[in-house]
């Protein structure tokens, strides 16, 4: 699981060095806006729809389910009451405050989350010490073989599955998802738009030690209480180790982080529908009407997400559920963005066909794996293709489709791609001389070196 934190650093480097310059220079308001510039209005509309679907099912729906589990565990509220409370509070400040409210509350919530994660880690380390485990070597001995290794030899998260599958998920999530990238789109300068993601890459080093590592501690300390439910690890750690006075703060931090995700997704859906769909096809719509449409959209999406969140228990774990959905949604989007900035030959017809067919195929794959009418997961269990490899094979299929359609359709003119893609793959790195250690490329180089050293240490 730690790979999902550390591999994100490489995707954030891509965002800062490869994608952000085009987003900022072209004054992109939303990511579908970029697709219209690079390809066509049709691609813009399809991506806007897919982004709303992703926000509803992944960012909002699963976050509501996770939040309800916290409220149920620590406050005794049932799942449905918890979902309603979280939804109402988050929707209220998001609809009234917009992106500014999201950013301000997110800053506060990040501090609360880090404090809570640090407290759980420190109390967990103290409990391990009381059991005679005071070094990393002793902890390794107390765990099953390879449990502390970032590069697993086999299984759904084997090293090759992570190497092939994570970039497909990560490029969508960190570089091409409106919910996440809207922070970059709001940057004041191009330098801010580049430095911000790279700096975030450094921060992504911490979650492995503050959020993933406590799960390893929980396995050693409370395996009998956790049983077969991986979602119970953190609640058990908090319940067993944290003093009463701190439990409320940590619970608030966890809820705040989830509400931050929900708020950001709600804001992105309202923007996507009002700007990329309504404004695009009805340009005479007034600003007041667009604001009203955005607020109505946020409310409708929240209600639908509430209904979907009640199905969260059907997945093996929250982590698995989220990534199964991303694995089916991300491949066509990753293809049109990645090849769109690196391959000038990519055409508008290829983009539209790839998005439409990729979305349909992904939906079929997810439906086959979602246990609606029984417990059989056809793709994962019967065909033995874990979700990371599902993402990889869907990416290959979409890439093949994109290339074939591009080659049989007219080449884009020079004016169509001017300022929207790199002339050659290394242009983002070598186009200008380094200006010092504060140069985003220099920062990225340091980050990549640190990540390689960490992977070498925990291989």
- Tokens matching residue 175: 């570089």
Closest by alpha carbon to 319, among 237, 243, 212?
A: 212
Region of residue 361 (left: phi > 0; alpha: psi -120 to 50; beta: else)? alpha
How many domains does one find in the chain?
Answer: 1
Cβ neighbours for 273, distance < 8 A, ≥ 6 positions apart:
48, 52, 293, 294, 297
- Which residue pairs from 389-393 have beta carbons closer than 8 angstroms and sit at least 24 positions apart in sequence? 389/161, 389/164, 389/165, 390/165, 390/327, 390/328, 390/365, 391/165, 391/168, 391/169, 391/326, 391/327, 391/328, 391/330, 391/331, 392/161, 392/164, 392/165, 392/168
Q: For residues 312, 95, 89 and 62, what is the CA-based torsion angle, rounded to 10 degrees?
A: 10
The confidence score (pLDDT) of residue 227 equals: 72
CA gap 186, 100 in Å, rounded: 10
CA gap 23, 13 in Å, rounded: 15
CA gap 438, 195 in Å, rounded: 8
The confidence score (pLDDT) of residue 23 equals: 93
Give CA separation, 388 vs 168, 184, 394, 395, in Å: 9, 27, 10, 11
- pLDDT single digits (tens) 52-96: 999 999 999 999 998 888 788 777 788 888 888 888 888 776 666
- pLDDT single digits (tens) 144-186: 776 777 777 777 788 899 999 999 999 999 999 987 898 898 8
In this structure, the chain runs to a length of 459
Characterize 373-396 residue by residue with b for buried, 16 or more Cβ atoms within 10 angstroms of its Cβ, and e for exposed.
eeeeeebbeeeebbbbbbbbbbbe
CATH at 402? 1.20.1730.10
Cβ neighbours for 44, distance < 8 A, ≥ 6 positions apart:
32, 33, 35, 36, 276, 280
Angle at 317 between CA 315 and CA 321, to 5 degrees: 55
For 276-417, list the strands marked E by DSSP: none
The confidence score (pLDDT) of residue 285 equals: 86
Give CA separation, 31 vs 250, 269, 342, in Å: 34, 12, 17
Could you list the residue range(s) of the whole structural domain that residue 276 is in?
3-457
The confidence score (pLDDT) of residue 197 equals: 94
Q: What's the whole-model pTM score?
A: 0.88
Q: For residues 341, 29, 105 and 199, what is the CA-based torsion angle, rounded to 10 degrees?
A: 30
Q: How many other CB atoms sit within 10 Å of the CB of residue 95?
A: 21
- Tokens matching residue 437: 């250690």
Helices of type H across 176-286:
178-185, 190-203, 206-207, 213-226, 233-241, 244-271, 279-281
- The answer to whether the beta carbons of residues 182 and 100 sit under 8 Å apart is no
Low-confidence ranges of the chain (pLDDT < 70): 93-107, 146, 371-374, 425, 430
Helix (H, G, I), strand (E, B) or coil at 152: strand
CA gap 160, 170 in Å, rounded: 15
Closest by alpha carbon to 454, among 247, 233, 208?
A: 208
Angle at 228 between CA 7 and CA 388, to 5 degrees: 30
- pLDDT single digits (tens) 238-276: 888 888 778 777 777 777 778 878 888 888 898 889 988
Q: How many other CB atoms sit within 10 Å of the CB of residue 52?
A: 22
- Tokens matching residue 262: 């929900």
Any idea what DSSP says for residue 273? Answer: I
The DSSP element (H or E) to which 360 belongs, if any, is helix 348-369
């Amino acid at each position: 699981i730690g790979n999902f934190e550390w591999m994100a650093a490489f995707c954030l480097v891509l965002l800062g060095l490869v994608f952000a310059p085009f987003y900022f220079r072209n004054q992109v308001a939303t990511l579908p806006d970029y697709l219209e510039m690079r390809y066509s209005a049709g691609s813009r509309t399809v991506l806007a729809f897919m982004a709303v679907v992703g926000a509803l099912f992944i960012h909002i729906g699963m976050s509501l389910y996770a939040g309800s589990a916290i409220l149920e565990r620590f406050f005794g509220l049932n799942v449905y009451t918890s979902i309603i409370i979280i939804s109402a509070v988050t929707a209220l400040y998001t609809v009234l405050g917009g992106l500014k409210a999201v950013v301000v509350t997110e800053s506060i919530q990040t501090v609360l989350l880090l404090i809570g994660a640090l407290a759980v880690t420190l109390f967990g380390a103290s409990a391990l010490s009381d059991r005679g485990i005071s070094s990393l070597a002793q902890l390794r001995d107390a765990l099953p073989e390879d449990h502390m290794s970032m590069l697993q030899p086999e299984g759904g998260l084997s090293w090759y599955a992570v190497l092939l599958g994570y970039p497909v998920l990560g490029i969508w999530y960190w570089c091409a998802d409106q919910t996440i990238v809207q922070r970059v789109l709001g940057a004041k300068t191009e330098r801010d738009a580049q430095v911000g993601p790279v700096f975030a890459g450094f921060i992504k080093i911490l979650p492995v030690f503050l959020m993933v590592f406590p799960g390893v501690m929980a396995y050693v300390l409370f395996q009998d209480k956790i049983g077969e439910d991986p979602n119970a690890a953190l609640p058990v750690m908090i319940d067993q180790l944290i003093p009463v006075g701190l439990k409320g703060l940590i619970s608030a931090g966890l809820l705040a982080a989830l509400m931050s995700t929900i708020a950001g997704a709600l804001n992105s859906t309202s923007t996507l529908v009002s700007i990329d769909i309504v404004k695009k096809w009805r340009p005479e719509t007034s600003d007041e009407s667009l604001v009203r449409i955005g607020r109505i959209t946020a409310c409708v999406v929240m209600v639908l997400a509430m209904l979907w969140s009640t199905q969260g228990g059907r997945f093996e774990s929250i982590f698995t559920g989220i990534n199964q959905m991303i694995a089916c949604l991300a491949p066509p989007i990753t293809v049109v963005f990645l090849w769109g900035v690196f391959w000038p030959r990519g055409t508008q017809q290829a983009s539209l066909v790839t998005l439409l067919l990729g979305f349909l195929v992904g939906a079929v794959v997810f439906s086959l794996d979602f246990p609606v009418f029984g417990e059989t997961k056809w793709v994962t269990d019967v065909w033995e293709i874990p979700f990371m490899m599902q993402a990889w094979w869907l990416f290959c299929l979409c890439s093949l489709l994109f290339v074939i359609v591009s080659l049989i359709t007219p080449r884009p003119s020079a004016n169509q791609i001017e300022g929207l893609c790199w002339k050659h793959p290394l242009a983002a790195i070598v186009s200008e001389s380094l200006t010092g250690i504060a140069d985003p490329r220099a920062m990225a180089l340091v980050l990549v070196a640190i990540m390689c050293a960490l992977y070498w240490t925990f291989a």
